[in-house]
Structure 1
Amino acid sequence: MNGPIDKTPGESALVCVSHSPIIMIRAKAPVEEPQILAHYERCIAGIEAFAPELVIELGTDHFAGFPLSCMPAHCVGLACEAVADVGGFPGHFDVPHDIAEALVAHLRDEDLDTAVSYKMRVDHGFSQPLKRLTGALHRYPVIPVFIGALAPPFLPFRRSRLLGESIGRFIRKTGVRTLLIGSGGLSHHPTRYFPLVGDGDPAVTAYQVEGERGGSFTDEQWLSRLYDMHVEGADMLVNGARTREDIRLNPDVDEEFLRLLCGNDLSVFDAWNPAAIVETAGIGFLELHTWIAATAAHLATGGGPPKERTYAPTLEYGIGYGMVSAGVPS
């Protein structure tokens, strides 16, 4: 670093990054992995220099903590624990209860009917990027914000943009220097592991709807099943048994999303049809609600659009891999 970094109260830094269980257990490294890891290392060093007073992480969940019996559009965690799932890291988040409650009050004052969880449970969708970027789940105070994007009826992208803008105004109002993390996407269709509602075996559907109460799997059995399936799936992606078409890997849609995200007007996503996107880029593409919300929050604090970005159509990871950052010191 060339001298101290000036830190302004109420400013933000932004990192949005893909997650996938298979990233952590891939059977073969994609050729782009050095480029991907280099962007990660730059962000890790930049976060250290930025020294956030708070992290707000926007993520999704894959039935570890949010079953279909109650699927909120948006939910703020007042406490949070991550499960020991494949690709994830178990442990507790250091959630600042009073600040999280104040965020909920602010969002509701701005007519966003946000749910709350007094004991949020999340999986790799939150824990993977948080651990890899900051070194530990409890390194910094963290407020987890869940976005229920993966189950129909699908959430309009506009709703997550408005959520993000409101979060950005909260950061400005409170003056807390904040790292924003958006976790998920790009194109992928992981229905082999997480079937769409009603498409899976009845035992799988029962767990997706009610978790352990569905009577088909204990949590331990469900997570063990997912681990075995992802290990098998990682091999299938490199031996030809699973193809780009199978996982709906779509670099054209991915690149267009990144181009627009790195512009100045996120309202362009308001007209995007989530159901149509699923057909061309997979259900996992909808995790990009988190990127839209996190980027909208960063812009609302006065930050600029993402300038550094990485993209690779990594079949070996089972996903179109992307990463963008803004306001992270170099």
Structure 2
Amino acid sequence: MSHSPLLGLNPIDPQDQRVLDEAVEQARAAIAAFDPELIVLIGPDHYNGFFNELMPPFCLGSQAWAVGDYLTPAGPLNVPEELALSMAAYLMDRHFDLAVSRRMQVDHGFSQALQVLWGDDLDTPPVIPIFLNAVAQPGIARLARCKALGEAIGSYLDGLPQRTLVIGSGGLSHEPPVPTMQHPDPAVRERITVKRLPTEADKAAKTERVMAAGMALARGDHWMKPLNPDWDQQWMNTLRHGELDALCAMSEASIAELAGNSAHESKTWLVARAALPSDHPLHCPVYAYRAIPALIAGYGLMFMHT
């Protein structure tokens, strides 16, 4: 599923809101019927927990705390520490040199999915969080490596007795005002390099800046990169049909060029889908998409199961 920091902040078209609300209700019902005993949640960060002083392509958390940015709740995630470390050991044994955080900080890239599906109190089944770098080049995870990681996660989960829900939270096409190391202001480069807790004034200024960017995109202002619904729906349909090798044939450069710098977040979907079988069609009872400029998001939601 997509996420947006502007969900609930910027006004959107009533028809878009209706489609989102219906899709979320369908997903909640499908998840309730599945009754997961474990969640594996793959998400990105937006310089709230991970910074350029040390930016891993992937990181698994054995403990995690949501920072509570925008309208998302703050607090601990329900991480099963020993099981998380067991998964980390399994992946390391299969030559994935992923980082492990004993005190991971996550932002709306993780917490919004849990909030939307379970509520503000984050009272969820046990959840193993896996961070995917989607903003800081050159260490952004490559497509084929995301597929391979998902397959390894799926192999690990096949050995567990728990019914497991794998969530990819991110994307689709979008380019919000997330700074990069190419920013001309050294103070901005320092802010995304050195980890520090933001002040309330910092948070308010960031929220105001992102809200203004969303409204600028909704107006069609030329300085905001437009969404790409065709790219979004091609991405979703390719995953739906399990055509993962075709997706991995896409060039890395084309992702930012066609869908925006932050469209690399869509790779969280690829990791999640690769954890499921791709050699035969899967049930897909929930499938929804809307391009919503005010949210700076091609917003998609898809639920599949074996």
AA of the residue aligned to 1:102: S
Any idea what the Cα deviations from partners look like across 1:100-144, whole Å, max 9, x if unmatched?
A: 001001111111111100000011000111111122423211110
Question: 1:24 is matched by which residue type in structure 2?
Answer: G
**For residues 39 and 267 of structure 1, what CA distance do their matches in structure 2 show?**
28
* 1:30 to partner: Cα distance: 5.2
1:147 to 132, 149, 155: 132
1:187 matched to 2:165? The reply is no
Displacement of 1:195: 1.5
Q: What is the distance in 1 between the residues matched to 2:64 and 2:192?
A: 20
Give the Cα separation in 1 of the matches to 2:284 and 2:48: 31
- More deviation in 220-229 or 254-263? 220-229
From 111, 125, 137, the counterpart of 2:122? 137
Where does residue 207 of structure 2 map in the other structure? 227
Q: Matched residues, percent identical?
A: 34
What runs of 5+ residues in structure 2 fail to find an aligned partner?
none
Determine if the alignment matches structure 1 residue 290 to structure 2 residue 268. Answer: yes
Note the residue ranges of structure 1 that are not aligned, 5 or more in a row: 1-16
Query: In structure 1, how many angstroms separate the alpha carbons of the residues matched to 2:44 and 2:62?
Result: 16
The AA in structure 1 aligned to 2:149 is: L
Distance 1:205 1:168, change over 3 A: same
Given residue 175 of structure 1, which amino acid in structure 2 is its aligned partner? P
Within 2, Cα distance between the matches of 1:200 and 1:177? 48
**Paired residue for 1:113, among 86, 93, 97?**
97
Secondary structure of 1:320 counterpart: strand
Cα deviation, residue 200, structure 1 = 5.2
**Which residue number in structure 1 is paired with residue 234 of structure 2?**
256
Cα offset for 1:33? 1.9
Question: 1:295, 1:305 within 8 Å by CA — same for their partners in 2?
Answer: no
- Measured after TM superposition, the shift of residue 301 of structure 1 is 11
Taking structure 1 as the reference length, the TM-score comes to 0.86
Residue deviations 1:179-226 (CA, integer Å, cap 9, x gap)? 111101111111x2x1122225322211101132xxxx8454432221
Q: Is the 2:72–2:108 contact (alpha carbons within 8 Å) kept by the matching residues of 1?
A: yes
What residue number does 1:266 align with? 244
Contact 1:186–1:287 (8 Å) recurs in 2: yes
Taking a change above 3 Å as real, the CA distance of residues 90 and 18 of structure 1, as seen in their structure-2 partners, is same
Q: Does 1:236 align with 2:222?
A: no
1:200/1:310 CA distance change after superposition, 3 Å: farther
Letter in 2 for 1:137: L
Question: Superposition pairs for residues 296-315 of structure 1, below 5 Å?
Answer: 296-299=274-277, 304=282, 306=284, 308-315=286-293
Cα drift, residue 56 of structure 1: 0.6
- 1:98 and 1:300 map into 2 onto residues whose CA distance is 29
Runs of 4+ in 1 over 6 A off after TM superposition: 300-303
Check 1:129–1:47 CA distance in 2 against 1; reply closer, same or farther (3 A cut): same
Kindly state the Cα deviation for residue 300 of structure 1 after the two structures are TM-superposed: 7.0
Q: Give, in whole Å, the separation in 1 of the partners of 2:108 and 2:296.
A: 15
Contact 2:10-2:214 at 8 Å conserved across structures: yes
Q: TM-score, normalised by structure 2?
A: 0.92
SS in 2 for 1:143: strand
Contact 1:86–1:226 (Cα < 8 Å) also in 2: no
- In 2: Cα distance, 1:54 partner to 1:236 partner: 40
Instruction: Tell me the equivalent position of 1:13.
Output: none
Q: Partners of 1:59 and 1:326 in 2: how far apart?
A: 18
Provide the aligned length of Structure 1 versus Structure 2: 304
Query: Higher mean Cα deviation, 301-310 or 60-69?
Result: 301-310
Q: Please state whether the residue corresponding to 2:159 is helix, strand or coil.
A: helix
2:62 is the alignment partner of 1:78: yes
* Counterpart residue identity of residue 224, structure 1: A
Instruction: Give the secondary structure class of the aligned counterpart of 2:193.
Output: helix
| Paired position in structure 2 for 1:64 | 48
2:38–2:163: 8 Å Cα contact kept in structure 1? yes
